[in-house]
Amino acid sequence: MTLIPVPAFTDNYIWVLHDGRTALAVDPGDAAPLEQTLDSLGLTLQTILVTHHHADHVGGLARLRQRWPAAPVIGPAGEAIAGLDERVQDGDRRQLLGQSVQVLDLPGHTAGHVAYFIEAPSDGCAPLLFCGDTLFGAGCGRLFEGTPAQMQASLARLAALPGSTRVCCTHEYTLANLRFARHVEPGNERLAERERHDQALRAAGHPTLPSSIQLERDTNPFLRCDQAELQAAACLRAPHPARDGTPLAVFTALRDWKNRF
């Protein structure tokens, strides 16, 4: 199985997983770059997965459905998205490209956001997670429709996945997220290491993704709200009464802080 991030717009990736003949694509906000990739590799589109309703994730659906009418579009049961063939929710499984794909409900960025998890890819490689705009490299999505408690619970579910899980999120936000992460947790040496590594990747024109769940546990401040350094930073920043230092209060303060950073 081959995994490809197809760049779209300014900083989106449309993830493609293929076996040399057929492919599945995740969150095709724009049809053109995806079609170009499929055509250049001689791939047939088998299935489209959608994580949530935002335009930069679904904008290519109409054109792709015309071109590939046999490829079902699978998306979240809880969101109004035109052109879905199958609506899925937490615990559902689909057999796609010979892979068992599990659906996880992850409310927070939007109310009905889902992710797709392949725990045991048939090629024996590490698990795969397509998590849309929930977990980003060293960051997390904005709370457009959900509460901080919902988003934190969703991120906790992802953090509990196997550490080797490859994290395929939809935006190349990693370097900007790392600047914030270094600001709020300057004592974390893994962060400095990651920043050097990811800066070199971007300078060479490569994506910083997929990352891994273990790397996110070690460096993503939104998964580290129980760490003393982050608690102290958030308590200084947060308005009363969020100064109780609970992981939820720390998360809420960090998310608000990042919005203004």
Residues contacting residue 111 through CB under 8 Å, at least 6 positions apart: 78, 79, 145, 146
Q: Positive or negative, the Cα torsion across 131, 133, 138, 142?
A: negative
- Give min distance, CB of 129 to Zn ion, in A: 16
109 is catalytic: yes
Would you count residue 27 as binding Zn ion (CB under 5 A)? no
Q: Which is nearer to Zn ion, 43 or 49 (CB)?
A: 49
Best CA proximity match to 50, nearest among 7, 103, 98, 97 = 103
Q: Which of 18, 53, 54, 113 is catalytic?
A: 54
Q: Please identify which residue in 18, 53, 54, 171 interacts with Zn ion, judged by CB under 5 A.
A: 54
53 part of the interface to Zn ion, by CB under 5 A = no
Binding of residue 65 to Zn ion (CB under 5 A): no
Only one of the segments 27-35, 52-60, 98-106, 186-194 lies at the binding site for Zn ion (rule: CB under 5 A); that segment is 52-60
The token pair at 242 is: 């969020």
The CB-of-42 to Zn ion minimum distance in angstroms stands at 31
Using an 8 Å Cβ cutoff, are 88 and 115 in contact? Answer: no
Residue in the shown chain whose Cβ atom is closest to Zn ion: 54
Task: Return the range that interacts with Zn ion (CB under 5 A); candidates 12-20, 49-57, 146-154, 173-181.
Answer: 49-57
Of 251, 231, 224, 253, which Cα lies nearest the Cα of 240? 253
Question: Measured between alpha carbons, how far is 141 from 171 in angstroms, rounded to an integer?
Answer: 10
Distance in angstroms (rounded) separating the CA atoms of residues 170 and 232 = 31
Q: Which is nearer to Zn ion, 54 or 166 (CB)?
A: 54
In the bound state with Zn ion, the residue whose beta carbon lies nearer, of 56 and 185, is: 56
Structure tokens that stand for 239 in this block: 């308005």
CB-nearer residue toward Zn ion: 133 or 198: 133
Residues 6 or more apart in contact with residue 132 via CB below 8 angstroms = 26, 27, 51, 52, 57, 106, 109, 113, 114, 115, 141, 169, 170
Q: Which among 56, 105, 113, 198 is annotated as catalytic?
A: 56
Choice between 59 and 247, CB closer to Zn ion: 59
Among 35, 79, 133, 198, binds Zn ion (CB under 5 A): 133
Q: Are 237 and 255 in contact (CB under 8 A)?
A: no
Of the candidates 18, 30, 53, 57, the residue annotated as catalytic is: 57
Residue 171 annotated as catalytic:
yes
Q: What are the residues binding Zn ion (CB under 5 A)?
A: 54, 133
Q: What amino acid positions are annotated as catalytic residues?
A: 52, 54, 56-57, 109, 133, 171
